[in-house]
A and B are shown apart, each in its own frame.
Chain A
Amino acid sequence: MESTVTRDGTKAVLQAGGDIVSTTVPGLRPVLRDLLQEGVRELVLDLGEARMVDSSGIGLLMAAHNSLEKVGGTLTVVHASPEIRELFTAMRLNQHLTVADD
């Protein structure tokens, strides 16, 4: 599973390439951190390949949200599966991050 990043100025799209779970979060966390440090303010997380987001994944998303909020940036999630959307809705995460169709 490879995550890929597409940069466009201060906007970056991170293709998660798989689930956002405890096994993948340690690898994703530095990538996100680096992106922020590189000045990305508009972060788009593409969950097209993700079937699952676990507690660590939520923790990562929230941490990214917190970091971005500090610098006035935004976090958007795209291509989330219906289940993941349902989860975000139930947890009201959509109040903090944008869940978009694409």
Chain B
Amino acid sequence: MHERDDALLGEFLAECREHLADIENDLLTIEEGGADIDEQLVNKVFRAAHSIKGGAGFFNLVKIQELGHRTENVLDMVRSREMIPAPEVVNILLLAFDRLREMINRHQESNGEDISEIMVALSGLASSFLPPEEKASISQEVVIAAPDLPGEIKVSEFDLVRARREGCYIYLLQVDLIHDVQRRGKTPLDVMKALLDCGSILDAQVDLASAGTLEDEPTNELVLRVLYASVVDPTVMAVLVEIPTERIRVLEEPASAFSADEQDTETASAACLVPMGTTRASGPMACPVPTGSTTTTTPRARPAPVGTTTATASPMTTAPPPLPTSDASAPVARPRASRRASTETTAADGGTLTGGGDATVRVQVGLLDTLMNLAGELVLGRNQLNEAIGRGDLHSIRAGGQRLNLVTSELQEAVMFTRMQPIGNLFGKFPRLVRDLSRELGKDIHLELNGRDVELDKTLIEGLSDPLTHMVRNAVDHGVESPGERTAQGKPAGGTVRLQASHQAGQVVVEIADDGKGIDPEKIANAALSRELITREQMQVMSDADKRALVFLPGLSTAEKVSDVSGRGVGMDVVKTNLDRLGGQVEIDSVAGRGTTFRIKLPLTLAIIPSLLVSVGEERFAIPQINVSELIRITAGQIRERIEVVGDAEVLVLRNTLIPVVELSVLLGLDSEAAADPRRMRDRRADQGSDLKVVVVSAGAFLYGLVVEELHDSLEIVVKPLGRHLKGLREYAGATILGDGRVSLILDAAGLAGVAGLSSMAGSDRARELALEAQREESAENHAFLVFDNGPEERCAVPLSLVTRVERIAAERIEWMGGRRTMQYRGASLPLVTLADAGAGMELGSDRELVVIVFHLGGNEIGLVAAMPVDVIETSAAVDTVTLRRPGISGSAIIRDRTTLALDVHELVESAWPGWAVESPGAEEALAGGEGPLLLLAEDSDFFRAQVKSYLEGGGYRVAAAEDGEAAWEQLEKLGNAVSLVVTDIEMPRLNGLELTRRIRADLRFAAIPVIALSSLAGEDDVSRARELGVDVYQVKIDREHLLESVRSLLGEAALAA
């Protein structure tokens, strides 16, 4: 037995896995049906257990056999309606099959397993249901008579009935113990064990006459007749007992019910249908268990000449039966041959039986034929080409090349098909998962599976298994609420989790949807905030979708506490990583209270991918087409306009958005000179020698530009994994071999981004900025800016409202006084500043046409030296006050497609002429203004102070401005009840807005003055805290309309109250 091919064992294990794959769902269906038993389904499960038992016996896997047997007994009782498949029964059965699966996966150790617990559970089930009349049939005997049988054979009716019910063949075997056993070097024990393992011996007789007596010479024939019941089909029987087929007689075939069953159920094991007279080409996979294997179905699905099939049969068919061959045309062809169609993993090539059982693939016969044809075509093509080359006939060589090209494409496609598997294989495990989990959690959840037929490359299917499991778990665990909660919300108590697969635009889309509570973006964001994964500022400007996407952040998901709060997230980062690895993308849709949908988009295959070839120096690289968003060639003249330098980094202006740009050669360290000098880009921009080729690459959620030297063709490349020693390189996804035989590395877009320090968060920062900008564009009005150049590359802007005059001057007019620049202006000395003085920008070139922009600050005038051209631009562009913020620069905005620095004149002056402008716009000045309610504005940023002030003044109010809370308080004390309303920033030096508000509210004189808080902080906590302290309106900065409206309504209320 032990020498029996490992291949057989592999096939058996594969068959077992196949049986087990469907069993859970079948059991669940059986459970659902309750007392109303679907016999065919129960039969199917029963036969699965039976085949496992039989096969395990054959391979001496005793524990598997025992457990299979016990399970089979219980199922038998279900089938005969002696036992109702109540949930507890099904539970134990599920456990038993789980155990079987475990043992099959580790079949080598299975004999040492302790299975007593489950065995006891099973027999407990059986005994609790065993009806008394069952025992009666045990004593009944049936006589089986066969014409050429010397005696009659008696069988217990119970055994026979049972054998029939199990779908067994009843055989009469005549074994010659001398010739069939001894001469083959076997012992009777081997034979009997083999028989016992694969079925049951109903009766046996030694032909006593053939033994002779002690006086006789030892006989050379000793016949043992065995009445044998087994599911093993006749072909396999010959192998099993190794006796000539003429001495294997089939007395009874399994009941015909099986054929009908077989057509209905996909799995099914009843190969038993085949009568003895059929040659079943038992190829290398001829299997001791009666489940149809590919080879056994093959000759049937295809009307091939049977002679061929048997001729190629493996050595296993020791004795091809001398019986009428084949029913190739008979209608026995099983539907599954076509239904099962393309692929289905079965086990193991002979060598690696311990593995997961995915080493072989089932392939549709038609597909194999196509492959064979194509291989033939390939050979013809090669011959043609060889001949043409021999003749040196260029025309024919081309024709041959073309032919090869064509055939190769077709071949590739056909081969790809062999790797495709229906996603249903994967979906199949979820009903059990959902059932168990929802039971455990006390939820009532219905699982809906759609699009099982959608096919995917098997590596993708495998890779998808874990993430999908995780997401389904999450949906059940965190997504769907408890029945109580659901009813309270007016939803049906039972929840639904829906898994759906579909093809969309060359991709496969898998959706995991639940109708649960949805993901609350605020909770997620707050959780991320509390873990310091995002900053308050980031959070404030994030869209809901961005906040939900935070569940994929690593730090967020590992913390258990957060998952309680957020509802989701344990290991979601792992999900994301896994999907990234598969080249998949994931999106979240969620409506609070209505449910969540995760949408995974996957490529169809990973083995051959269309890619773009690029090169840097001598090296060529492939970028998967799926990552390539667009290709941009920036002509030398345009580089200045399209590439902006922000700090040390470059950004590309792409249709009003900025995307980071990195140079591939620098990133990969191909250009050591450049790597040493990160500012080289700037130089290149200056020299403008050549065009710039940029590949805009998408790395999951964000885009970045990759500067390459050359762009080449788009090509279908075969992905070769990198060796283990190179696995650590994040930059590369693999390698491929190009047409000229050279190796080219495949770039990993996400990995490269990581190496370049561009995280997806940075990407979403950008996205948020854009979203914010768009928002502002909608709501904000146009503001007038005076735009001018500082250095050649530095464009600056100041709010026009601050500018008094713009003077064109000659450089000679600038005088140096005590290390500072001044200028004669209107009969006085006008102090001058430059951005360089304040450390905020570059020196002005001396060759430039200069202007002086005169500002009126704190009652004095000061001039800013700038360069032409100067322009006034009305823009709604939002000022980004984070990225480029530094003293003197309040932020940046994109104005007319150029990044423009927004200057904070006050700060600028402060740093160039410290102390010069201390005197802030005073209260007297504001009072002197005359009419209109007086508002007190506390704001530390000059830019914003000027802006807000101008808004308010534009609204017809007088404004007293203060640069912090303390100053505002002083002014308030001075102005007293003249102040009708206070507008304050929150974050300010000395006294912040909240403290200011507290002071105002605590002081009886001012307690009634309405307070508007302006801040970029808008966390819920902040808002509620501000409210508690007495802030009437809390508002995000620079929203003119909003602000004026709030002021109007508060003043109105105050007036009414008074």
Contacts and interface: CB of A to CB of B under 8 A. Distances in A.
A62 B211 contact: yes
Given A55-B187, A90-B196, A96 B208 contact: yes
Contacts of A15: none
B213 interface: yes
A58 B222 contact: yes
Interface in B155-198: 177-178, 181-182, 187-189, 192-193, 195-196
Given A54-B187, A90-B195, A90-B204, A70 B222 contact: no
B218 A56 contact: yes
Interface string B423-464: 000000000000000000000000000000000000000000
B215 A90 contact: no
Interface in A67-102: 67, 70, 83-84, 86-87, 90-93, 96
B218 A52 contact: no
A59 B214 contact: no
B214 A29 contact: yes
B205 interface: yes
A56 B32 CA distance: 57
Contacts of B214: 29, 32-33, 36, 63-64, 66-67
A26 B218 CA distance: 9
**Interface range on chain A (Cβ under 8 Å from partner):** 20 to 34
A17 B710 CA distance: 89
A9 B224 CA distance: 34
A96 B203 CA distance: 14
A24 interface: no
Contacts of B182: 22, 54-56
In this complex, the member of B203, B218, B219 whose beta carbon has the largest number of chain A beta carbons within 10 angstroms is B218
B1 to A, nearest CB: 14
B188 A66 contact: no
A52 B222 contact: no
Contacts of A54: 181-182, 187-188
A56 B196 CA distance: 22
Nearest to B220: A59
Contacts of B203: 92
Contact of B178 (A52, A53, A55, A60): A55
Contacts of A62: 206, 208, 211, 222
Given A54-B188, A55-B182, A63 B211 contact: yes
A93 B211 CA distance: 13
A25 interface: yes
Interface string A17-38: 0000010011001001100100
B33 interface: no
Contacts of A22: 182
**Interface range on chain B (Cβ under 8 Å from partner):** 20 to 34
A11 interface: no
B223 to A, nearest CB: 10
B617 interface: no
B212 interface: yes
B865 to A, nearest CB: 108
B188 A58 contact: yes
A91 B211 contact: no
B648 interface: no
A70 B216 CA distance: 14
Nearest to B196: A90
Contacts of B213: 63, 66-67, 70
B397 to A, nearest CB: 70
B215 A91 contact: no
Contacts of A65: 208, 211
Given A55-B177, A55-B181, A63 B216 contact: yes
Contacts of A58: 177, 188, 206, 211, 222
A67 B1022 CA distance: 108
B222 A53 contact: no
B154 to A, nearest CB: 11
Contacts of B196: 90
B187 A91 contact: no
A92 to B, nearest CB: 4
Nearest to A29: B214
Contacts of B195: 90
A83 B224 CA distance: 18
B188 A59 contact: no
A26 B224 CA distance: 22
B92 to A, nearest CB: 30
Contacts of A93: 206
B239 interface: no
A59 B218 contact: yes
B219 A59 contact: yes
A59 B208 contact: no
A33 B215 contact: yes
Contacts of B674: none
Given A29-B214, A62-B211, A65-B208, A87 B189 contact: yes
In this complex, the member of A52, A54, A83 whose beta carbon has the largest number of chain B beta carbons within 10 angstroms is A54
A63 B177 CA distance: 14
B201 interface: yes
B206 A52 contact: no
In this complex, the member of B189, B195, B203, B219 whose beta carbon has the largest number of chain A beta carbons within 10 angstroms is B189
Nearest to A93: B206
Contacts of A53: 187-189
A36 B206 CA distance: 22
Nearest to B207: A62
Contacts of B193: 86
B192 A87 contact: yes
Contact of B222 (A36, A59, A84): A59
In this complex, the member of A36, A65, A92, A93 whose beta carbon has the largest number of chain B beta carbons within 10 angstroms is A92
A40 to B, nearest CB: 11
In this complex, the member of B206, B208, B214 whose beta carbon has the largest number of chain A beta carbons within 10 angstroms is B214
Contacts of B187: 52-55
A65 B212 CA distance: 9
B192 A96 contact: no
A67 B192 contact: no
B192 A90 contact: yes
B846 to A, nearest CB: 108
A93 B224 CA distance: 10
A91 B205 CA distance: 7
A86 B187 CA distance: 13
Interface pairs A-B: 9 shortest CB-CB: A62-B211, A55-B177, A90-B192, A55-B182, A67-B213, A92-B204, A67-B214, A33-B214, A66-B213
Given A29-B214, A66-B208, 12 more contacts: A33-B214, A52-B187, A53-B188, A56-B182, A58-B211, A63-B211, A63-B213, A66-B213, A83-B189, A86-B193, A87-B188, A92-B206
6 contacts: A54-B182, A55-B187, A62-B206, A63-B219, A66-B214, A90-B196
Interface of B: 177-178, 181-182, 187-189, 192-193, 195-196, 201, 203-206, 208, 211-216, 218-219, 222, 224
